[in-house]
Structure 1
Amino acid sequence: MLRRLLGSPAAVSGHLHRSLSTHCVSTNLRRSLSTAASSSSHPPWAIIDYNTLVDDSPSSWAPGACFDPLQPPRVSRISAPPHLLRPRERPGPGTNLVQLLTGHVTAASADGHLLLTYYDIIAEGPRASWNQTADMEVERFICNPISGQLLRLPYVSGSRKRICYHRMGLLTQPGPGGARFAVADIVSQRERVIDRFLPELGRWDMVVGLPCQPTPEREMDMNQETVAFGGRLWWVDLTCGTISLDPFSYRPELRFVHLPTGSTLTSHIHTKSESAEERDEVAKYRRVGVSEGRLRYVQTSLHEPFVLSSYVLDEEASSWALEHQVELKQVLADGGHECKNRPPQIAVLDPMNAHVVYITLGEQEHVVAVNIYQDKVIGSAPLQNRYHYLLPCVLPPSLGSSQFPETGKKGDMEAIDVLVSCGRHYKG
């Protein structure tokens, strides 16, 4: 489990970091919600690094999340100060123990809220040996990235050591008292069990024996983030298909949709002997996401001329229709980018424009925006770090003034209402 956490980008992965420069921490940045919402501007959406940093610098006093949204194709990052994570005491200098504070942007809702997961890891010896020996504790938050507000979630099964991460998703609904939300995870496909959190309950609620139509031919292995669309959460296996449910429903039902014809990989791809790295490799060239209000699936062929195929889910949410195909090798060459004998990797779909797909090239040296209908590169940005996984997040104008309906404490749920505008300016 820990090795996948430390090394697998599609499971819970990515390189782990513990520090962040303190350029966004300054004493003149503390503002009220109304001031931050009215004075700041930001792009309509952002590409976010899956790894969320922990700013453990001595001056890290920030009372909320710190987010600096950049115009795509540049990559934005979000961080949190360690005091909000309730970290354990740092191991003393006389021990061989190492502490690592790190986190992930687990999912994004359709209105820009984020599900953040942070880990407090203590282990002995070099990180490469941390397979079964590390002591991990976890904190989860719902985050408004524009205002910085965080809502701490209760511990699953009441234990901070219960990692139990598969692919949690976040779904929000507008309401008179603020955004209503639900967090859900598929615990067991075979037994059709989900675990969900609803604020009105104030605790995690396990639902067993859910109906599913149709039934997947094999157990799915979710290898991208869960997508919020159409009032449902969609879990994605990029070798098989999607499975979705409404977490707000009193009696939720699972629905399965195959990938487009010819995209489903044969059963030998999912043998137990197959490594996580091999499964993750498939995910580099495929993606399910929301764009212009429709659920879409995009994939690239693994051989020249690297054909990108874009599909859209029909109105009945039962099958995919091919929308467009384009040969990426020539389009990228005309735009000054060579594929270097490796297929282009799908980074994210543009949530605002279904004609635009963001891809990474080579050893993920650049993020390149391609208009697949105009057959041209429309933008690119170098990557400052080796990003293993990227997520799209919409940032509607109303997000800055959105507040969680629950404040104070209910059970173990805690809203952190002190807000911060931390480096929150739009770099167009």
Structure 2
Amino acid sequence: MGLVADPRFPGHHMVVQLHPTPWTSFRRHATLLCYSTVTGRWALKPLASAPNHEPWGEHGVFAHDGLLWWVDVAYGMLACNPFDDYPHLRFVPLPAGCEMHDLGDRRPRPTKLMDQSHLIRPSQGMLRFVEIQSLSYDGAAVDDPRPTPPFECEASFADIWAHDSYVAAGLPQGKVAKLALVDPNNHDVVYFFQVRALFALDVRARRVLACEECLVDRQVQSLEFQYSRFVHA
């Protein structure tokens, strides 16, 4: 479910769900299930058009540029304006070389590792895609069969671990962190979970800017939810 501000009525919002929800049945969507704080009621809205696609994962939904965006980190995003009477749902693919359409039996879905190593979030008025590359989805290092796409900015974990700011923060060496957030005001700054710590990294400089303890589930003290699906900037 996504939450988006209602441009017609300041201070009001709409809750929207692509219907139905189980990712195993997602081939094509037909309706939106909507709740408006203006009317105080739930309603079904038929989609005027929607693309066919592979079974859809649930890796986040957010409002951006007046639209709602549903994310599948293996394929891309589905976007629409839920305030239209008959919304058009459109598909926006990942950057070339980042999709996971053609991995056959090795297609990594669904796994927590995909959430922990891929992220799409708005920052500085644009959508940003972040990927930790060369991770195996069964926990061992393997060669990625996809071609390596060009990225705006890249940094190796070896350089990050070796930086004096990482060492000074007392973070563990040789352990790949989990993606948490992209700074909404600076797309060069990415936040990571490293066990119980949340740290901010200037990717271009490889420098740790801040680090402190952050448990998503403080009551149970569980580390199960220490990744991007459960936190928002």
The TM-score by the shorter chain falls in which range? 0.7 to 0.9
- 1:269 & 1:356 partners in 2: Cα distance? 35
Q: Please name the residue that 1:328 is paired with.
A: 157
Aligned counterpart in structure 2 of residue 290 of structure 1, from 94, 118, 122:
122
Higher relative contact order (CA 8 A, sep 6+): 1
CA apart distance, 1:392: 2.3
CA contact (8 A) 2:18 2:29 kept: no
Q: Please name the residue that 1:169 is paired with.
A: 2
Q: Which has the larger radius of gyration?
A: 1
- 2:49 & 2:199 partners in 1: Cα distance? 41
Tell me the alpha carbon deviations over residues 14-72 of structure 1, each in whole angstroms, 9 at most, x when there is no partner: xxxxxxxxxxxxxxxxxxxxxxxxxxxxxxxxxxxxxxxxxxxxxxxxxxxxxxxxxxx
Q: Please name the residue that 1:203 is paired with.
A: 41
Give the 3 Å change call, closer, same or farther, for CA 270–184 of structure 1 in structure 2. farther
Identity %: 22
CA apart distance, 1:322: 3.3
Give the 3 Å change call, closer, same or farther, for CA 254–174 of structure 1 in structure 2. closer
CA contact (8 A) 2:122 2:184 kept: yes
Tell me the alpha carbon deviations over residues 340-373 of structure 1, each in whole angstroms, 9 at most, x when there is no partner: 3x43211111111111000122xx2321110012
Q: Please name the residue that 2:184 is paired with.
A: 351
RMSD between aligned alpha carbons? 2.8
- 1:359 & 1:191 partners in 2: Cα distance? 33
Q: Please name the residue that 2:32 is paired with.
A: 194
Tell me the alpha carbon deviations over residues 270-291 of structure 1, each in whole angstroms, 9 at most, x when there is no partner: 98xx87xx52221110111111
Q: Please name the residue that 1:281 is paired with.
A: 113
Alignment of 1:391 with 2:231, yes or no, is yes
CA apart distance, 1:198: 1.9
Which of 249-258 and 182-191 deviates more?
182-191
Aligned length: 201
* Secondary structure of the corresponding residue to residue 326 of structure 1: coil
Alignment of 1:91-240 (within 5 A): 168-173=1-6, 178-188=10-20, 189=26, 190-212=28-50, 215-223=51-59, 225-240=60-75
- Alignment-mate amino acid for residue 17 of structure 2: D
- Alignment-mate amino acid for residue 211 of structure 1: S
Aligned counterpart in structure 2 of residue 259 of structure 1, from 91, 94, 107:
94
- Alignment-mate amino acid for residue 231 of structure 1: G
- 2:150 & 2:81 partners in 1: Cα distance? 24
Alignment of 1:240-255 (within 5 A): 240-255=75-90
- Alignment-mate amino acid for residue 170 of structure 1: L
Q: Please name the residue that 2:134 is paired with.
A: 302
TM-score of the two chains, using structure 1 as the length reference: 0.43
CA contact (8 A) 2:77 2:91 kept: yes
Q: Please name the residue that 1:369 is paired with.
A: 200
Give the 3 Å change call, closer, same or farther, for CA 284–264 of structure 1 in structure 2. same
- Alignment-mate amino acid for residue 283 of structure 1: D
- Alignment-mate amino acid for residue 12 of structure 2: R
> Can you give the 5+ residue segments of structure 1 that lack an aligned partner in the other structure?
1-167, 307-319, 394-428
